[in-house]
């Protein structure tokens, strides 16, 4: 396919300048195939627009080879070892195929998978006809990194037998517990026999596998091709993704928090549907049991509904099952980060954007009033004039808190995944007179220093910023700027998420003449740098005061993703970080010593290590007794940590005066604030932030 560049132009978008490349295809008598056009367009945009384009060479080919096969068959129960050996002829040829717009590797792997898929159906049907030997001492390893592909059909049958037995043992264990509970609640209840329960568990396993096969059979080739394309884009960095047309639409509607659902952002972790974010104030957030890192394994419609196994299901299809009409209940079976399983019932609701807006509260310590502002996102809407944004809302909240007479301010950036850079710069300007806030860099260009140009401080009192491992992007820019100026104490996790890159979503058809919708590319175009010259990529922002939390040892940061961009450093900007406080270092030292000696924080640290240990354990016994004993031991250990995060704060929290007037006529807002204030009261991390704030002394005051 021939192409020519029509024009290159620069647009100002939500987070800085974004380069787009527009080109037309040269039309011949025979139009190029859709896939050829698509891969050529993606390659062109990636090579010309990506911040750090990769060489499409043999090493690149190896990575795509590995990723696509793993994505198609993550648990090595379809392909045979001989299939992988046959695919090896493409090991160093995929790069050439990309350049030549050929798809021999994709087609052969996909065709072989479809063949092995059909071949597997009679295998699992035959296995599930008969009762398993629950006394046979054996185990299953669910870590694909340490398992091998079956060498022949007999070995493949044994792999399937173990997977099906594991599913049945899990279901049978739950059913036996339920029967025991029912008999205790009702002495007249007649328990089902073991054989009845065992048969029921096998039938349910069969139903779940049949569901999986139904979705696999319905998967169009375009969707499989999208998976292949994302194996290519993933080699550039974790945040560069191809969005197929249907995925883009469902991504916009189902995961933006603007529809009826549970208010959770989900990701596909090689066949598992994983919670990566809870929308602040959404149904799941309010219910309280669902957490970031949880994996949803089953979905039931209503409390009495039969659960559908979604392991291995396409993410878009899983989302369709999870979302639903306001007022209806969905019951999720989730695998917690400690490897225990839990059923969570959530009443669906409209996930309102209002719940992601800035909000504030006050509390009293030793006769002094302090303010807390929760900033869930750095939001803005350029498409509508006069729309509220996080910087304007932050200014308003600070002005209202000043009327309340606060003597210190905490800004909570925990779980804030970022958003608009321009609002982050404006918010930073509320706390400094003027000067640089962040440096933004295109590839091969000099850094663009973004300054606060509005002289004067809206808040000149003590400032503490709370962060955790999920504070990312614009959150890290604000925290880093305040740290570099020594304007605030940063308190929280050892370091923040470490996402120091900027993405833009490019609709492919906007720059390509083609009648069919080709989807979009989310492309990394820039990198963030602190004013001290260091990138926030990978390293994030290190807290001045570190507090242990449950995520401390889990693999959830940018550095744990595949092919992240590297950390690097540029020249520092010119700024003045003169001592704003008379006792900054003293407060940091005293608070850190106090936290290190705190019994509850020491227990939280032990809990975090326990979570890490269980996260890494992917081998399970397949004897019924062995599985039951292991689950009982896990549940017993989990109970020891059940109340580990509970805390009875000495502080009471109050809405600012202007909001109290709103609450008088808006009972829903009142309920939201009661819920928030209770969560603050139960939060040991907020307690430490207030303690820190109360000790800070501003110079010349």
Q: Domains of the chain, with CATH numbers?
A: 55-235 (no CATH), 258-352 (2.30.42.10), 355-695 (3.90.226.10)
φ and ψ at 664, to 5 degrees?
A: -60, -30
Predicted confidence at residue 436, as pLDDT, reads: 97
Element (H, E) at 370: strand 368-374
Pairing of strands 409-412, 463-467: parallel
Cα angle 115, 120, 121; round to 5: 105
Tokens matching residue 41 = 């367009």
438 SS3 class: strand
CA atoms within 13 A on the CB side of 282: 27
CB-CB contact of 282 with 350 (8 Å) = no
Predicted confidence at residue 132, as pLDDT, reads: 97
CB-CB contact of 243 with 505 (8 Å) = yes
Q: Which DSSP letter does residue 31 get?
A: P
Cα angle 75, 76, 81; round to 5: 165
| DSSP assignment of 390-432 | HHHHHHHHHHHHHHHT-S-EEEE-TT---B-HHHHHHHHTTTS
Element (H, E) at 450: strand 448-452
CB-CB contact of 410 with 689 (8 Å) = yes
The distance from CA 24 to its chain's CA centroid, rounded to whole angstroms, is 36
Q: State how far the Cα of 355 lies from the Cα of 263, in Å rounded to an integer.
A: 11
Query: Mapped to the 3 state alphabet, what secondary structure does 258-327 carry?
Result: CCEECCEEEEEECCEEEEEEECCCCHHHHHCCCCCCCEEEEEEECCCCCCEECCCCCHHHHHHHHCCCCC
| DSSP assignment of 527-569 | EEE-TTSBB-TTT--B-SEE---TTTTSS-SGGGSSSPPPP-B
CB-CB contact of 45 with 37 (8 Å) = no
Q: State how far the Cα of 280 lies from the Cα of 87, in Å rounded to an integer.
A: 46
6 SS3 class: strand
Tokens matching residue 109 = 């792997």
Longest dimension (CA), the chain: 82
pTM of the predicted model, to two decimals? 0.81
Predicted confidence at residue 653, as pLDDT, reads: 97
Stretches where the chain sits below pLDDT 50 are: 1-32, 251-258
Q: State how far the Cα of 182 lies from the Cα of 188, in Å rounded to an integer.
A: 10
Q: Which residue in 161, 155, 158 sits closest to 128, CA to CA?
A: 161
Residue length, the chain?
701
């Amino acid at each position: 396919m021939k192409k020519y560049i029509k024009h290159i132009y620069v647009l100002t978008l939500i987070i800085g300048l974004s380069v787009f490349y527009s080109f037309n295809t040269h039309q011949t008598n025979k139009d190029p195939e859709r896939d050829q056009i698509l891969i050529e367009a993606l390659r062109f945009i990636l090579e010309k627009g990506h911040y750090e384009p990769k060489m499409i060479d043999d090493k690149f080919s190896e990575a795509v080879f590995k990723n696509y096969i793993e994505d198609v068959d993550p648990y090595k129960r379809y392909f045979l070892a001989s299939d992988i050996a046959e695919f090896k002829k493409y090991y160093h040829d995929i790069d050439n195929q990309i350049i030549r717009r050929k798809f021999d590797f994709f087609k052969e792997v996909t065709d072989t998978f479809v063949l092995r898929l059909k071949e597997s159906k009679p295998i699992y049907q035959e296995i599930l006809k008969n009762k398993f030997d629950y006394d046979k001492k054996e185990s299953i390893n669910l870590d694909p990194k340490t398992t091998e592909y079956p060498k022949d059909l007999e070995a493949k049958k044994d792999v399937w037998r173990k997977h099906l037995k594991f599913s049945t043992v899990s279901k049978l264990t739950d059913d036996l517990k339920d029967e025991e509970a029912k008999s205790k609640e009702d002495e007249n209840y007649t328990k089902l026999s073991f054989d009845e329960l065992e048969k029921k568990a096998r039938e349910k396993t069969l139903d779940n596998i049949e569901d999986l096969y139904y979705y696999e059979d319905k998967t169009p080739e375009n969707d499989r091709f999208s998976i292949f394309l994302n194996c290519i884009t993933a080699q550039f960095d974790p945040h560069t993704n191809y969005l197929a047309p249907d995925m883009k639409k469902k991504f916009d509607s189902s995961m933006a928090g603007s529809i009826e659902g549970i208010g959770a952002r989900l990701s596909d972790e090689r066949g598992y549907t994983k919670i990566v974010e809870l929308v602040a104030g959404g149904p799941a957030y309010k219910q309280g049991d669902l957490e970031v890192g949880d994996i949803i394994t089953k979905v039931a419609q209503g409390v009495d509904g039969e659960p559908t196994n979604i392991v291995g299901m396409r993410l878009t299809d899983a989302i369709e099952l999870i979302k639903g009409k306001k007022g209806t209940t969905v019951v999720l079976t989730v695998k917690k980060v400690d490897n225990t399983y839990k059923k969570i019932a959530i009443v669906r609701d409209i996930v309102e954007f209002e719940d992601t807006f800035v909000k504030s509260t006050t509390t009293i310590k030793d006769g002094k009033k302090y303010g807390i502002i929760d900033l869930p996102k750095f939001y803005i809407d350029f498409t509508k004039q006069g729309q509220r944004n996080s910087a304007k809302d932050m200014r308003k909240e600070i002005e209202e808190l000043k009327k309340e007479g606060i003597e210190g301010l905490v800004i909570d950036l925990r779980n804030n995944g970022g958003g608009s850079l321009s609002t982050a710069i404006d918010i930073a300007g509320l706390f400094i007179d003027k000067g640089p806030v962040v440096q933004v860099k295109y590839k091969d260009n000099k850094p663009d220093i973004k300054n606060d140009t509005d002289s004067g401080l809206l808040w000149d009192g003590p400032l503490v910023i709370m962060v955790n491992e999920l504070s990312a992007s614009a959150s890290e820019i604000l925290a880093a700027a305040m740290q570099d100026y020594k304007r605030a104490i940063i308190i929280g996790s050892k370091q923040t998420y470490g996402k120091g890159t900027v993405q833009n979503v490019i609709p492919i058809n906007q720059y390509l003449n083609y009648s069919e919708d080709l989807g979009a590319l989310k492309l990394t175009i820039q990198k963030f740098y602190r004013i001290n010259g260091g990138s926030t990529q990978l390293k994030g922002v290190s807290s001045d005061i570190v507090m242990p939390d449950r995520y401390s040892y889990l693999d959830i940061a940018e550095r744990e993703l595949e092919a992240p961009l590297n950390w690097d450093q540029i020249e520092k900007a010119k700024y003045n970080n003169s001592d704003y406080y008379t006792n900054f270092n003293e407060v940091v030292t005293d608070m850190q010593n106090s936290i290190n000696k705190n019994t509850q924080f020491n227990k939280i640290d032990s809990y975090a290590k326990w979570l890490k240990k269980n996260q890494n354990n992917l081998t399970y016994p397949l004897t019924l007794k062995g599985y039951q004993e292991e689950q009982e031991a896990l549940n017993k250990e989990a109970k020891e940590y059940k109340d580990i995060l509970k805390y009875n704060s000495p502080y009471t929290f109050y809405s600012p005066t202007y909001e109290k007037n709103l609450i008088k006529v808006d009972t829903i807002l009142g309920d939201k604030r009661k819920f928030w204030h209770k969560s603050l009261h139960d939060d040991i991390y907020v307690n430490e932030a207030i303690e820190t704030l109360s000790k800070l002394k501003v110079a010349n005051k």
